[in-house]
Amino acid sequence: MNGAQALLRTLVDAGVDVCFANPGTSEMHFVAALDDVPGMRGVLALFEGVVTGAADGYARMTDRPAATLLHLGPGLANGLANLHNARRARTPVVNVIGDHALSHKRFDAPLESDIDALTGWTEGWRRTCVDPARIGTDAADAVAAATAGGIANLVLPADVSWGPDGVPASPVSPPAKSTVDDSVPAAVAGVLRSGESTVLLLGSGTTRERGLRAASRIAAATGARLFAETFPARIERGAGLPAVDRLGYLAEQVQWQLTDVRHLVLVGAKSPVSFFAYPGKPSDLVPPGCRTHTLAEVGDDAVDALERLADLVADGVEPVLQQPSRPTLPSGDLTPQNWTEVIGALLPDGAIISDEANTSGVLIPTATAGAPRHDVLTLTGGAIGQGLPVAVGAAIACPDRPVICLQSDGSAMYTISALWTMARENLNVTTVILDNRAYAILRMELTRVGAESAGPRARALLDLANPDLDFAAIAEGMGVPATRARTAEELAEQFSRALAEPGPHLIDAHVPSLI
């Protein structure tokens, strides 16, 4: 058994059975081992940003890491932006980063680079394999580190991969999440009983059913209000679940949402800050006079803390559940509002929404609030180009659930080749491109940052027209059946048809810009 085979054996035994890959020469023994070691599904992507984004989407839905296979420093570099989003999502990912043979590195061959600088950027676990005899231990440790909630980077030199006498290892248990001390829920219970205006901000891991139900009981019993973080990794919502609004993207929205709040309780969430800085405006969005309390730090077992708090303040109180409710199907030319009503009216049961609709999607949460139960995966780190790859990963993770990718046009182009992987793997992903021919968010931001003097040169850099992108042609070119919608009726008909047919589809929806 060579090093690569021992590595694969260990990954599979540890429950890592999908590898999103874009390999090169230095990874050829790993690739060959896929036929020697049963149980690992290799999924080819045509760009590493798709590889890493898909691993993120997969793990958000399974709570287990996928592996990635990346080609030296440049391959990792191409995958970094979506690893940034995964880091912010606290998603488990195991990167296998092929490198030159250890014996080859001193020659500074063209693809040589400082991989450690890049793995350092991910703020994750990292180790370089140096011996096939220890490769199993390395891999088991990587899976455990990732499972604890982060990115694990395993650098695999080619000669360790092809070296003999590889030794697989048994899975290693990841460290358990920290449980908060009893004194903490007790103290927060005291805050909630004060009767003063209180908000619970729900962070990482608490926006799924168990956490939402506990939070809703607390809210029902005490009058506290609930918000989820602006960009949750995964939020469960829809009819039958407690409904929780997310904090807004714009500082002004958050200031409005937190008006007169006296106590902000962080539940595995970070204190709210402005996404960007703006001249003369505060970065810290906790209102003046508001005290912040931490029920659970990011990384703690926040759901457990919430449930214990609920037992203290809401004994016997039931959560408030969202009633089924759908918009009626709209008609007429597409608008920033009516396209969301089409989605809300037709969203299938059990859908997974990969949401990178950006400015076009501001009304989506409202339009889908009472739709059948579904998951939403959001742009956690702000590095655009996440939506399509995350949809790939979610569809691999959950082959029996419909995946809906709501994708703004500008962001789509970053990782557009994800469409090809959807076609190759015949994934049930319906992509709706919100095609407003602009980086619309930047038009808004240009004004918000006070750069009002913008003239034609500036505007040209925010404009995706001239020429218009024809996403239907691009999708067909990658093997994804595609249509174009200009009216709500067309969108509804095309969306229904796409959902009814297996495999991927794309709808290029000509939705005018909100701004």
Nearest distance from residue 200's CB to its own copies, in Å?
21
CB of 121 to its own copies, least distance (A): 4
Residue closer to its own copies by CB (options 218, 228) is: 228
Contact between 160 and 192 under an 8 Å Cβ cutoff? The reply is: no
Q: How far is the CB of 136 from its own copies (least distance, A)?
A: 20
Q: Which two tokens stand for residue 50?
A: 């798709």
| Minimum CB–partner distance for residue 371 and its own copies (Å) | 27
Q: How far apart are CA 18 and CA 16, in angstroms?
A: 6
CB 493 to its own copies: min, Å: 22
Minimum gap (Å) between residue 329 Cβ and its own copies: 29
Nearer to its own copies, 275 or 326 (CB): 275
Closer of 87 and 401 to its own copies (Cβ): 87
Q: Are 472 and 506 in contact (CB under 8 A)?
A: yes
Q: How far apart are CA 450 and CA 40, in angstroms?
A: 52
Report the C-alpha gap between 454 and 383 in whole angstroms. 25
Residue 100 or 208: the one with the smaller Cβ distance to its own copies is 100
**Shortest Å, Cβ 238 to its own copies:** 25
Task: Pick the closer one to its own copies by CB: 4 or 334.
Answer: 4
Based on CB atoms, which residue is closest to its own copies, 238 or 387? 387
Tell the smallest beta-carbon distance from residue 242 to its own copies (Å): 25
How far, in Å, are 142, 157, 360, 437, 482 from residue 468 at the CA level? Answer: 44, 44, 17, 7, 16
Least distance to its own copies from the beta carbon of 499, Å? 21
Tokens representing 433 are 């491109």
CB-CB contact of 239 with 324 (8 Å): yes
Which residues are registered as beta bridge partners of 153?
Answer: 95, 126
Please say which residue, 321 or 449, places its beta carbon nearer to its own copies.
Answer: 449
**Could you tell me the smallest distance in angstroms from the CB atom of residue 221 to its own copies?**
32
The nearer residue to its own copies, 479 or 512, going by C-beta atoms, is 479
Residue 246: φ, ψ to 5°: -90, 150
Helices vs strands, H then E, count in the chain: 20, 18
Nearer to its own copies, 123 or 318 (CB): 123
* SS3 state of residue 489: helix
**How far is residue 37's CA from residue 129's CA, in Å, rounded to a whole number?**
19
CB nearer to its own copies: give 367 or 478.
478
Helix 183-193 with 302-313: angle, nearest 10 deg: 50
The greatest distance separating any two alpha carbons of the chain, rounded to the nearest whole angstrom, comes to: 69
Burial 4-25 (b: 16+ CB within 10 A, else e): bbbbbbbbbbbebbbbbbbbee
Question: Which residue spans within 54-207 are E strands per DSSP?
Answer: 66-71, 93-99, 125-128, 151-157, 198-202
CA 249 to chain centre: 16
**Can you say how many angstroms the Cα of residue 80 is from the centroid of all Cα atoms in its chain?**
14
